[in-house]
A and B are shown apart, each in its own frame.
Chain A
Amino acid sequence: MQKIQCVCGFGCGSSLMLRMALDDVLRKHGLEAETFTGDVGTCLSNPCDVIFISKELAERIRDRADVGIVVIDDLMDSAELEEKTLAYLGSLG
C-alpha cells in the first residue's frame, strides 16, 4: 500500500487539512493508501512513498528528497488535490 506523507511547517495545521482532504479523495475513488502528517524539518527521515506538500515548502526539500514530491498549490482546492492524487496513483501503473 502506498504511504503518503502530508507535510507542513510543524505537522500540526495545514498538513492535517491536506491529509483530511486527501483521505476524502481516496474514499471517493475507493482507493487505499496510508496517510500521515509530518513537518518540513523531519519529513525526509519518515519512511514514505511520496510527499504531498505546499508549493512554498516544497523548495526546501526538493533537492534532498529521494521519494516523489507532489506539490499542492491550493491546500483547500479539492479539485486540484483530486486531480494530482489520481495522476500520482495512476502513474504507478
Chain B
Amino acid sequence: MPELVPMKHIKAKVAAGDWQEAIRAAGVPLAESGAIDPAYIDDMIGSVEEYGPYIVLTSGFALAHAAPSDLVKRDSVSLITLKAPVDFGSTKGPVNVVMCLACTDRAFHLGGLGRIASVLMKDNMIGKLSRAESRGELYQLING
C-alpha cells in the first residue's frame, strides 16, 4: 500500500510561537515539494480566522485545511509535531500535532483521507504522535 504521508512532508518538534506559525510550519513542506502554492497556507490560516478553531478535532490535534482550489497542485498531506504546544483558542486545549490537508477537489477524501482518518482514530494515536522523537518515528506511526 502506498505511503499516506511521505517523509518529505513530515517534521518533528518544530518551533512555533503561535497557531499561525504552527499552520505555516505544517504547510511549508507541501509548498517546498510543489504540492501547493504558498498562498494556500494563508487560506488555511484565514479559514481559522473565519470559522474559529474547529480544526482542533480532538485534544492536541489540529487538521488545518482550506477549500479545494487552484492553489492545490496535488492532493497531499503533511504532518508535524511541535516543540511546545500552541494555543489555537480551542476549548479542547493546546495543540502539538498539526496535519495540513490539501485537496484539489472534494473527491480526494474518498481515498487518501479516508485511510488517514482511520489511522488517526486508532487508540491513542495522537498521543503517540505527539511523543515521537523523530520524523522517522512519525513516518512509521502514520504509515504503519
Contact = CB atoms under 8 A, between A and B. Distances in A.
B65 A56 contact: no
B55 A76 contact: no
A5 interface: no
A76 B51 contact: no
A17 interface: yes
A76 B120 contact: yes
A43 to B, nearest CB: 13
Contacts of B113: 12-13, 16-17
B19 interface: no
Contact of A56 (B53, B101, B109): B53
B65 A75 contact: no
Nearest to B99: A13
Name the prevailing secondary structure of the B interface residues: mixed
A73 B65 CA distance: 19
29 contacts: A9-B51, A10-B47, A10-B65, A10-B66, A11-B106, A12-B65, A12-B67, A12-B101, A12-B103, A12-B106, A13-B63, A14-B57, A14-B63, A17-B63, A20-B114, A37-B109, A55-B54, A55-B91, A57-B51, A57-B52, A57-B54, A74-B58, A74-B92, A75-B57, A75-B58, A76-B61, A76-B121, A77-B58, A78-B121
Pairs of residues from A and B, 10 with the lowest C-beta to C-beta distance, nearest first: A56-B54, A76-B58, A16-B109, A13-B65, A75-B57, A10-B67, A56-B52, A54-B54, A17-B117, A9-B51
Interface of B: 47, 50-55, 57-59, 61, 63, 65-68, 90-92, 101, 103, 106, 108-109, 113-114, 117-118, 120-121, 126
